[in-house]
Chains A and B, each alone.
Chain A
Amino acid sequence: DTGVSQDPRHKITKRGQNVTFRCDPISEHNRLYWYRQTLGQGPEFLTYFQNEAQLEKSRLLSDRFSAERPKGSFSTLEIQRTEQGDSAMYLCASSLSGSSETQYFGPGTRLLVL
């Protein structure tokens, strides 16, 4: 399967714990995006990378959130000191700059903070 993959698919944690999610984009894609989707809503943009550079962060991305893409391939999204309001589906997408704007989404990581 050469699509976008995310790990883990589900995560249950207690309030105050740190969690880290991983995204592996389509191999030739140089852009990688993180979105958050709460129940009954559309995905909301969090941040994006072009290669290893993080070029934009949404206001939704508080100081407790950090994302990295160290070698321009996979990316990680870490949430520190999780809160119940962080419970959501975290979606990763990738695209190829210079081509159509089509973003291909992964299956998401569903986070539940108790």
Chain B
Amino acid sequence: QQQVKQSPQSLIVQKGGISIINCAYENTAFDYFPWYQQFPGKGPALLIAIRPDVSEKKEGRFTISFNKSAKQFSLHIMDSQPGDSATYFCAASMSSSASKIIFGSGTRLSIRP
């Protein structure tokens, strides 16, 4: 059962452009939505996270937009740089289940110089 659906599977963006990755979830009990960045051969690293009581969170070039009624959230990377080339995972968890993380399937992002 795929509880967090992520798209697209891969994405190519020109340097300086905006990268957008979308996710949808099914379980309304989720109350924490992190995004992880993973480079080849490394473990995932937390990039930015949001709770459903806010519609947007921005940290530097990274912004999460959250639509609770649609059960959707997205990651926007502004002024995308070659160093942003990595795999990005959206995820969700529930405080009531010790925050076991449910990950999306990932988006492989490539930034063209």
Cα–Cα, bound, A95→B93 (Å): 13
Is A105's CB under 8 angstroms from B43's CB?
yes
A53-68 contacts to B, CB under 8 A, are: 55-56
Is A48's CB under 8 angstroms from B46's CB?
no
Is A91's CB under 8 angstroms from B99's CB?
no
How many B residues are at the interface, by size bracket? 20 to 34
* Inter-chain residue pair count (beta carbon < 8 A): 63
Cα–Cα, bound, A35→B95 (Å): 18
- Interface residue? A22 (CB, 8 A): no
- Interface residue? B28 (CB, 8 A): no
Neighbouring B residues of A93 by C-beta, 8 Å: 43, 101
Taking the nearest CB of chain A, how far is it from the CB of B74, in angstroms? Answer: 17
Cα–Cα, bound, A20→B6 (Å): 33
Is B34's CB under 8 angstroms from A102's CB?
yes
Which one, A4, A44, A103, A106, contacts B99 given CB within 8 A? Answer: A103
Is A42's CB under 8 angstroms from B89's CB?
yes
B62-113 contacts to A, CB under 8 A, are: 89, 91, 93, 95, 97-106
Which residues of B are at the interface with A, using a C-beta cutoff of 8 A? 6, 32, 34, 36, 41-46, 49, 89, 91, 93, 95, 97-106
